[in-house]
Structure 1
């Protein structure tokens, strides 16, 4: 049974989501403060963390940053509805995806399952050797990636995106394909999640000798991983 941690000071909402998630077969823990949530998130007992960006004692982005120093556990953030700044900050801080408040329990479960489906299916992959794309090596079954023989520290979603690009190295991959394969959902209109994640991946890969990025944006089409 997958165990989910909800970090949210809204007792009524957290209780509603907890009840629904349990009906859908999840085990659920709730933390009402950021400090308590951070401690539980780092316990290694949960397959996914739901984190509210607005908490009374610590900002959600600060909690996420602390989690990312020690853990790759997938994090789904609650953000204010229509607030693009919150969404972008959350993604840049290492969130795997976001759900705007208010949202329906059904939408929340769909997002959770999409994230877990990607992380767990890769973890049980029978692939024996790594995916090779120039200096990039990816072991899907180990959720491990190296770049010029150095381990890359990637979030779950960043790993999924880079893995997808590596499969099609040298080819342009559309945002729709990246969203479906890496995020586990269709691309939503005006959704900038992939762009923000790609910006983070680019920073981690660095630049080529001529200053160009190893991941090229092809306007109106998608992204391309330069494999040579």
Structure 2
């Protein structure tokens, strides 16, 4: 899919920021629709079916976390959240309701456009991922085509990013993958400093599949540890 075929929903209650982001994305070749509050964002999402949502956390009506929760329940979509606080608790809440990445205000427009492009590249790789065979590691099963995962006989409900992270780790069981490598492969943005994003998603993934399955190698990265079925 080309850039011009991607539609982005920009949700930001500050008119100056909303318009500046919209103008920059349109200048980069994207189709952009806008919303300025929580209810408007949900309505625009249903009406326009965007390929990506750029979502401010603090919104009138209801906040960005609630917007993210509602739109992800309707249809999985990449969400890049904008937050005024670089606070891990706030970030984990956003990731927990389905956000894929975040930017802390004030941000550079060049970085925003780069992250949008990276998330959309991941969407375009979905067909390639779906062609992979299911991976069985002990009692953990990851089905790339169906985008579903199970621990023993219990299905694990993962966000799109958590699933992609698990899939990439599971493809090389026991191999230590650096944070930078994970950010480049899962988020599609090589050379960027997204280690905090990686750490937050790993923490969320551990909570769902078991903390002992993902080994931390301090100062390096993470490895998915095979575990025998019991």
Q: How does the TM-score come out when normalised to structure 2? A: 0.84
Moved more, 14-23 or 34-43: 34-43
Aligned equivalent of 1:114:
118
Give unpaired runs (5+ residues) of structure 1.
none
1:26 & 1:42 partners in 2: Cα distance?
A: 19
Confirm or deny that 1:176 pairs with 2:180: yes
Deviates more, 1:34-43 or 1:112-121: 34-43
Alignment of 1:57 onto 2:61: yes
Does residue 42 of structure 2 align to residue 38 of structure 1? yes
Q: Is structure 2 residue 29 aligned with structure 1 residue 25?
A: yes
1:58 deviates by 1.0
The superposition leaves residues 8-46 of structure 1 with CA deviations (integer Å, 9 ceiling, x where unpaired) of 111121112112212222111101111110233345711
Q: CA–CA distance in 2 between the matches of 1:6 and 1:118? A: 19
Q: How much is the aligned-residue C-alpha RMSD, in angstroms?
A: 2.4
- Is there any run of 5+ residues in structure 2 with no aligned partner, and where? none
Aligned length: 222
Q: Which residue of 1 is the match for residue 204 of structure 2? A: 200
Q: Distance in 1 between matches of 2:36 and 2:92?
A: 24
- The structure 2 residue matched to 1:72, chosen from 73, 76, 95, is 76
Taking structure 1 as reference, are residues 44 and 154 closer, same or farther at Cα in structure 2, changes over 3 Å only? farther
Find the counterpart in structure 1 of residue 215 from structure 2: 216
Distance in 2 of aligned mates of 1:153 and 1:172: 25
Deviation at 1:106, TM superposition (A): 2.0
